Amino acid sequence: MSTLAVHDHHGVEHHDHDHEHHHNETFISKYIFSMDHKMIAKQFLITGITMAVIAMILSILFRIQLAYPDKSFPFLETLLGKNFAPGGRLDSNFYLSLVTIHGTIMVFFVLTAGLSGTFSNLLIPFQVGARDMASPFMNMLSYWLFFTASVIMLSSFLLQTQPAGPGWTIYPPLSALPKAMPGSGMGMTLWLISMVLFVASSLMGGINYVSTVLNMRTKGMDLWKMPLTIWAFFLTAILGILAFPVLVAGVVLLIFDRSFGTSFYLSDIVVQGQVMNFEGGSPILFQHLFWFLGHPEVYIVIMPAMGLVSEVMAVNSRKPIFGYHAMVYSLIGITVLSFIVWGHHMFVTGMNPFLGGVFMITTLIIAVPSAVKTFNWLATLWRGNIRFTPAMLFSIGFVSFFISGGITGIFLGNATLDINLHDTYFVVAHFHLVMGSAAIFGMLAGVYHWFPKMYGRLMDEKLGYLHFWLTFIGAYLVFFPMHFMGLDGVPRRYYSFTEIESLKQWVSVNTFITWAAIMAALAQVAFLFNFFYSIFKGKHATQNPWGSNTLEWTTPVERIHGNWPGEIPTVYRWPYDYSKPGHDEDFIPQTVPFSQTMSSNLPHDFEDSPVGDQEWVNTSKSNEHVK
């Protein structure tokens, strides 16, 4: 596999080797234990989609409970068994398990592994011009650890006691005391094991992404010529590498507290009348460790989506992304700042209030790079020539969600306002819009846009439109009213709102939200059908269906091992030369040298690369010479 390691100058010979190798592949080495980045990307994607569908069904189950707290649905008892839904009503502990597993799967398994795993794997080698990842074997291992983690997480539904139930943030002591709730027993153990494997998978992926981006770029691809997707994946991977180990540390200490009688997080506890021996620990310590990962985690979720959307938007607006440098610097700013804002999740958890004040300041600073990015996207659309492919629709939806969900962050980041809003539905609305829906839309935009690179076929556009509109409208109908519930003081993770007098007025709104959620969930059938049908029966794609500049569209449609049949192309320009005045087509791929586009070159083209400048000056001179 030497061909996969570096950009070689003997590509043709190696290609022959690859070609032979291709024929020897068995079903297992090609589809299961594959080391090809494209296949691993597809494995991540399909596993991610499966997990997303499961987590979505879980959310519908608990939405039904919230809409009809007093009704029984015998169907649920048949589906879930007498333990989880006695008499057709969800058990209140199982409700919390549903919420927990929904959150865990969506945040980690779908929006971290499903998103980064798919698109970092697919696009990093493609867009930087490499034959594969730095370590294809580790890449394969990363997928299989992720797969194992997914299986373990789901297997907790087979337990007679319930799956993990203390919320996706698993705050001890609730998660540390098996007696405190059924969901803190064996289910919690499986959750912890699954997460340790997941983090290992994530780290392997992340190290691979970083090393590939840093070491395996093709000739001419300097950092300032990388598409924003690559910048986003690169910075996301760095975030993951630095943040995830802290979660493992926290989780391992929790395992010690649960199983070996230590007191890292526990002190002065009497559970169900039994005095426990724990002394001297602090539950706040876990929250610090958790959110030290947890906050970067939300940027791990959103940054790849930002990258994908920036790329899709530039391609389909037929316009360079506005402020490429500003986009990169704001990504870097978000990356750095995301490590010093975690305390805003803990304003009222008993953390020293002085720290709350500090974290409030850092939190509101991070809103600035996010605002810059939003304005840049708007400026990219301005005076564009916008084509509405399904990918573009989802990108526009992304920006809309990012704005709607982002500005509510200004309320929550303000410690004073957070006193009243912490842990209410306002928070639920906020993060489901800004990180849930937005990131999912970024991911879907990516799927629609790069489907041809994965399967050589196109997805159906009309079904894509239907999918987009139902999901877009559905998501707003679901999450917009939740802001108001939160402002009235409706707490999240409540099994029903009928017990407390002042919350009863929101039951009708809950019913409405549930029906909107069911509609949005059913709309995903359009996507699933489109996706799987198009894999086998979709229209064949051309090599560069979207008229795009980046390197992946210079590879053949057949998706061969090693990506390019001959030598890896050299890169001469940045990836956003769309609608450049003076050029006859509205895009100039990165592989076209400036010497071939004399009519459209601008001084701006050479700001980042003195070498290119020299080349241009030289060719200009030699041209003059000829004249």
Partner 1 sequence: MGFKTLIKNKFLTALFSMLMLSGTELVMAQDANSTNTATGDQSAQQAGMWTSVSYYVLLFVVVCFAVAVVGKILRVYDLTLQMQRKKGINWNNAMAVAFLLFLILGLAGVYYSFSVQGSMILPEAASQHGKTMDTMFWTTFGITVVVFIATQILLFGFVFYYRNSDKRKGYYLPHNNTIEKAWTIAPAIVLTVLVVFGFFSWRKITNTVDAKGETASINIDVTGHQFAWEIRYPGRDGKLGAKNYKLISGTNVLGLDFKDRNGLDDLHADTLVLPVNKSVRLNILAQDVIHSVYMPNFRVQMNAVPGLPTFFKFTPTITTAEMRSRLDQPDFEYHLYCNKICGGSHYNMQKIVKVVTQAEYYDWLAHQKPYLNDQLKKELKMADATEQKGGENKRLALNN
Q: Which of residues 112-131 bind partner 1 (CB under 8 A)?
A: none
Closest to partner 1 by CB, 130 vs 445, is 445
Contacting residue, 147, 480, 515, 533, with partner 1 by CB under 8 A: 480
For residue 235, count other CB atoms closer than 10 A to its CB: 25
Q: Are 590 and 150 in contact (CB under 8 A)?
A: no
Shortest distance (Å) from residue 151 CB to partner 1: 20
Contacting residue, 240, 307, 384, 442, with partner 1 by CB under 8 A: 384
Measured between alpha carbons, how far is 582 from 500 in angstroms, rounded to an integer?
68
Residues between 444 and 473 with contacts to partner 1, criterion CB under 8 A: 461-463, 465-466, 469, 472-473
Measured between alpha carbons, how far is 249 from 265 in angstroms, rounded to an integer?
13
Residues between 330 and 349 with contacts to partner 1, criterion CB under 8 A: 348-349
Tell me: does residue 312 bind partner 1 (CB under 8 A): no
Tell me: does residue 400 bind partner 1 (CB under 8 A): yes
Nearest Cα neighbor of 442 from 310, 305, 562, 319 is 305
By CB atoms closer than 10 A (0-12, 13-18, 19+), residue 472 is: buried
- Which span (290-298, 302-310, 370-378, 443-451) binds partner 1, by CB under 8 A? 370-378
DSSP state of 352: -
Residues between 577 and 616 with contacts to partner 1, criterion CB under 8 A: 578-581, 586, 604
Closest to partner 1 by CB, 242 vs 528, is 528
Report the Cα–Cα distance between both ends of the chain, in Å, rounded: 49
List of residues 6+ apart from 308 with CB closer than 8 A: 119, 229, 232, 395, 442, 443, 445, 446, 449
- Which span (237-245, 251-259, 322-330, 334-342) binds partner 1, by CB under 8 A? 322-330
Strand, coil or helix: 270: strand
Residues between 39 and 68 with contacts to partner 1, criterion CB under 8 A: none
List of residues 6+ apart from 295 with CB closer than 8 A: 338, 339, 341, 342, 344, 345
Tell me: does residue 13 bind partner 1 (CB under 8 A): no
Tell me: does residue 167 bind partner 1 (CB under 8 A): yes
Nearest Cα neighbor of 292 from 257, 329, 331, 344 is 344
- Which span (232-240, 301-309, 417-425, 609-617) binds partner 1, by CB under 8 A? 417-425
Closest to partner 1 by CB, 449 vs 580, is 580
Nearest Cα neighbor of 405 from 439, 382, 444 is 439
Residues between 206 and 245 with contacts to partner 1, criterion CB under 8 A: none
Shortest distance (Å) from residue 459 CB to partner 1: 14
Closest to partner 1 by CB, 15 vs 580, is 580
Residues between 24 and 43 with contacts to partner 1, criterion CB under 8 A: 26-27, 30-31
Contacting residue, 211, 262, 282, 619, with partner 1 by CB under 8 A: 282
Shortest distance (Å) from residue 549 CB to partner 1: 13
Measured between alpha carbons, how far is 573 from 226 in angstroms, rounded to an integer?
9
Beta bridge partners of 568: none
Contacting residue, 399, 433, 439, 551, with partner 1 by CB under 8 A: 399
Tell me: does residue 146 bind partner 1 (CB under 8 A): no
